[in-house]
A and B are shown apart, each in its own frame.
Chain A
Amino acid sequence: MKPFGKYRRFTRNSISRLLSYRANVLLFLFGNILQTVVLFYLWRAVYLSSGQAVLRGFGFPEMVVYLVATTAVLALTRAEGGEIIAEEIREGSIAMNLVRPLDYRTRIFFDALGTSAYNLAFVGLPALAAILVLKGIWGAASPDLLLLPFLPALLLSFLLNFFYDFCFGLVAFVTTNMWGMKRLEMVVATLLSGGLVPLAFFPDWLRGFAGLLPWASMGYIPVMVLLGKLQGRALLEAFALQILWLAFFWWLSGLAWKRLVRRLAVNGG
């Protein structure tokens, strides 16, 4: 008996669904790439104008890798779990899930896994290819990338993001129209996960604080690990922080879920 047998179907469905919108998906991907390209040109101009090779600890090649890697990591880890939940709440189909012999969180997890597998192929691989190409171009000047500690950091980020997203999805139960709040969250998350500028560029008073927030653990830390900027003790501390946030949101999602189930049972969906 294959483990998670009944759940694998959800992952396959997720991928099928995404594949059926071929042009759309490619265009979304293209759009995301464009965003990175704008930043690339901006930073190139910045480095040229600064007259320095290194800014706040980032050389230009490192900055480029940073941009590509951040886009990829954010795409890989931001799964759709929350949206699926919010949608099911709004449509009322969430009550159906309680009747089925599946653990809801696990099911959503496998849905999200599908999206991530898909993103891995269509975002992760191109990003990897891009970085390899760049390394080829830069030759000796290319930054050293530490893949080994990067992978667990990425995994932790994915898990953390999943539970965080799950909680967010459940909030849809309280507010009917989530759109504005979702946008707000996206903006804040992008900033604080280093999607706009590396946290190293933040003013001193904000940098330390931002580094401790969950978003940094989701986006910034894995990329910094990849670039080898977190090593030794700093690396261990980073992992610890990720695990801490992961535990917190895992606990919170469980709590919120129990509350929801109770409420559904009382109100009848």
Chain B
Amino acid sequence: MGRYARLYLRYTAQHLKGFMSYSVDFWFGLLSFLLNQGLGILFISLVFSSIPNLQGWSFFEVLFVYGFAQIPRGLDHIFFDNFWILAWRLVARGDFDRYLLRPLPPLFQLTAERFQPDGFGEFLVGLGATFTAGLALGLRPSPLELGLGVLAIIAGVGIYAGIKLAFASIAFWTKFSQSWLFAAYRVADFAMYPLGIYGKGLRFILTFVLPFAITAYFPAAALLGREPLLLGSGATFIAGAACLGLGYLVWRLGLRAYESAGS
């Protein structure tokens, strides 16, 4: 296990070194992500300039949920970005075989080979928004709440990573599954706002089918006292584990199909 940790760090270090050579574009990328997140916040504030509250949610409460949603999303972006490459290029260009020729589990190689600092944009914006909103609302979470919040975030990363892996693995069958990932991420966008604004059908999908709501809404609402704490944290653990499990299952099935059909 320790060997894998060490190897992961080596991969990351190497990747960052290679990354430095594209520095200008890196800043553009980071800027664009920051701006993208900033736009979300801008949108909320623009909208709130015309209304007192959003179905009972104040501006800062909405901001809190939004910010909280960005945190696991950003973390997932930092560590698991290579899944996009699987969906888009690795199978289509036959570059995936490289992983099969090395004496390491291919999933480990896939994950380790890309460490994406742009994700920090989302992460930092999310953190900033959450803290600002929390302060403005005068939130004082107990250590228990704080701990559960952090765990919920980690589980949230698991939800994103698992779903991403599942959809990316579709590329093993179709060579190109970027569109699936894209669609899945657009569904994730729903999770950034209070669940109450959506119809029943959507709420169901966001909670039980593609449980993105569990990455953000439930834990955040729990911290705001609007949903029970147990639900907020317990749900994330279950959903996180389920998504990771499902994602891994699809990956293995896809891998087997790939080894049978070649490239």
Contact = CB atoms under 8 A, between A and B. Distances in A.
A and B touch in their complex, CB below 8 angstroms: yes
A177 B42 CA distance: 29
Interface string A43-86: 01110111000011000000000000000000000000000000
A46 B39 contact: no
Contact of A45 (B36, B50, B55, B180): B55
B135 interface: no
B27 A180 contact: yes
Given A27-B180, A31-B179, A187-B36, A44 B197 contact: yes
Nearest to B24: A175
A251 interface: no
Interface in A176-192: 177-181, 183-184, 186-188, 190-191
A32 B47 CA distance: 21
B174 interface: yes
A24 interface: yes
A196 interface: yes
B43 A27 contact: no
A15 to B, nearest CB: 18
Interface in B46-74: 46-47, 49-56
Interface string A185-224: 0111011000011000111000000000000000000000
Contacts, number: 115
How many interface residues does chain A have, given as a range?
A: 35 or more
A38 to B, nearest CB: 5
A254 to B, nearest CB: 27
A137 B49 CA distance: 30
A177 B22 contact: yes
Please report whether the interface of chain A is mostly helix, strand, loop or mixed according to DSSP. helix
B179 A24 contact: yes
A231 interface: no
A181 B24 CA distance: 9
A266 interface: no
Contact of B28 (A21, A37, A180): A180
Interface string B1-37: 0000000000000000000001011111111110110
Interface residues of B, number: 44
Nearest to A186: B32
Interface in A3-56: 21, 23-28, 30-32, 34-35, 37-38, 41-42, 44-46, 48-50, 55-56
B47 A181 contact: no
Contacts of B190: 34, 37-38, 41
B182 interface: yes
Contacts of B51: 46, 49-50
B259 interface: no
A190 B38 CA distance: 13
B52 A25 contact: no
B55 A49 contact: yes
A34 B183 contact: yes
A201 B24 contact: no
Interface of B: 22, 24-33, 35-36, 39, 42-43, 46-47, 49-56, 174, 176, 178-180, 182-183, 185-187, 189-190, 193, 196-199, 202
27 contacts: A21-B176, A23-B174, A23-B179, A26-B179, A27-B182, A28-B182, A32-B186, A34-B189, A35-B189, A38-B186, A45-B196, A46-B54, A49-B51, A50-B50, A50-B52, A56-B50, A180-B25, A180-B28, A180-B29, A180-B30, A180-B32, A181-B25, A184-B29, A184-B35, A187-B36, A191-B39, A201-B46
